[in-house]
Structure 1
Amino acid sequence: MRIGEVSLLTNNVIELANFYKTLLETENGSNDGIHQTIISEETMLTVYNDGSVKNNTNQNISLAFTVDDINKEYDKLVKLGVDIIEKPTARPWGTINMSFYDPDRNIVYLRSFNK
């Protein structure tokens, strides 16, 4: 068994999907306000409005992405006006990590591995 999809439930699919398309530098050709697939590889990332009202006090899940150049990504996020939780910080286990909030206040981590 393997994980097939991570779906972010939201009241504003277009805003959240556009954020992740910008973050991940991808385009899906969709402006659908109900459901969008952002990543469609082995494990999918989707944004979905299931019709229920969300409180956007998400505290039990986070997303993490591995990137090649964390400083480049940090600069991009600052230019986008993203609410940064932690700037890029070297970790003793060999990564450089940073964290921030997406538009729905989900915590997102970026990491790069020391070369």
Structure 2
Amino acid sequence: MKLGEVCIETNDVIKLADFYRGILNISSECRDAVHQFIIADGVSLTVYNNGFIKNNLNQNISLAFTVEDVDREYERLLELGIHIIDAPRLQPWGAKNMHFCDPDGNHIYFRSLVK
């Protein structure tokens, strides 16, 4: 068994999908207000509105993306105007992480695995 999809439910699919395309440096012309694939290779990342209002009290999940160089990504996200909660720093488990949130308050980590 393998994980097939992570779906982020939101009140504003276009806004959140645009945010994720920006931080992940992915381009797409999709403007669907109900469902958008952001990453479709391997494990999919989708943004979806099922018609119910979300409270955006997102406290129990975070997304972590492994990147080649977390310091370079830190600089790129600052240029995009992303508020960084924790700047890149080496963690006890050997990864170098930075932490920020998406517009709905979901916690996101970019990490590089130190060689």
TM-score tier by shorter-chain length is over 0.9
What's the CA shift for 1:13? 0.5
Q: Deviations over 1:49-73 (max 9, x none)?
A: 1111111110011100000111111
1:11-90 to 2 correspondences below 5 Å:
11-90=11-90
What's the CA shift for 1:42? 1.7
Distance in 2, matches of 1:28 and 1:81, equals 20
- Could you tell which deviates more after superposition, 90-99 or 43-52? 90-99
Distance in 1, matches of 2:26 and 2:79, equals 18
Q: 1:8 — aligned with what?
A: 8
Distance in 2, matches of 1:35 and 1:10, equals 10
Runs of 4+ in 1 over 6 A off after TM superposition: none
Distance in 1, matches of 2:75 and 2:55, equals 29
Distance in 2, matches of 1:82 and 1:97, equals 15
Which runs of 5 or more structure 1 residues have no equivalent in the other structure? none
Among the aligned pairs, what percent are the same residue? 52
Distance in 2, matches of 1:2 and 1:28, equals 26
Distance in 1, matches of 2:97 and 2:107, equals 13
Distance in 2, matches of 1:102 and 1:63, equals 10
* TM-score where L is the length of structure 1: 0.94
Verify the 8 A CA contact 1:28 1:37 in the aligned structure 2: no
- Could you tell which deviates more after superposition, 30-39 or 83-92? 83-92
Residues matched between the structures, number:
115
Q: 2:92 — aligned with what?
A: 92
What's the CA shift for 1:90? 0.8
Which runs of 5 or more structure 2 residues have no equivalent in the other structure? none
What is the RMSD computed on CA atoms of the aligned residues? 1.1
What's the CA shift for 1:28? 3.1
Aligned AA for 1:103? P
